[in-house]
Amino acid sequence: MRVTIRDFQKMKKDGQPIVMLTAYDAMSARVCEAAGVPAILVGDTLGMVVQGHNSTIPVTLDHIIYHAEIVSRVTTKPLIIGDMPFMTYSISPEQALTNAARLMQEARVSCVKLEGGEFIAPTIERIVSAGIPVMAHIGLTP
């Protein structure tokens, strides 16, 4: 059974360290799972790490879906987090919901990740109201 957000909440409450690694392919995902990593992020950094770009800007939702579906398919336990790349949630909360739903349905991720601050709160609220778990990234970004 997959790790859930509630499992993360319990880990935090119990003072357990929470580890997350990034994977973009089957081999890396299997290594993460074998090592007991409870969460795997399929991030937009694949633009730099896998595709050879000098930023994350060229990464599309279809790219994330492709890689996240692989990671989801070959693992059974880790929480799989699908990054929402540049401009997939910036236009409107409805656009964000549509794109988050694609990640959930097509890539079978456990939750989606958005970067930003207070200004994305209405967007997060809309996505969560549809039953899609969100991890907000408010720290350093690529």
Q: Is residue 142 part of a domain?
A: no
CA dihedral 51, 66, 25, 88 (to 10 degrees): 60
> For 23-32, b where at least 16 C-beta lie within 10 A, e where not — what string?
bbeeebbeeb
Residue 20 is encoded by which pair of tokens?
């997350």
Structure tokens, 56: 């994350």
Domain count, the chain: 1
64 token code pair: 């994330």
User: How far is Cα 8 from Cα 26, in angstroms, rounded to an integer?
Assistant: 24
- Position 113 in a domain: yes
Residue 27: give its domain's CATH number: 3.20.20.60
Domain region containing 82: 5-137
Each residue's pLDDT expressed in tens, for the chain with a length of 142 residues: 999 989 999 999 999 999 999 999 999 999 999 999 999 999 999 999 999 999 999 999 999 999 999 999 999 999 999 999 999 999 999 999 999 999 999 999 999 999 988 889 999 999 999 999 999 877 666 5
Predicted model pTM:
0.94
Asked if residue 66 is part of any domain, the answer here is yes
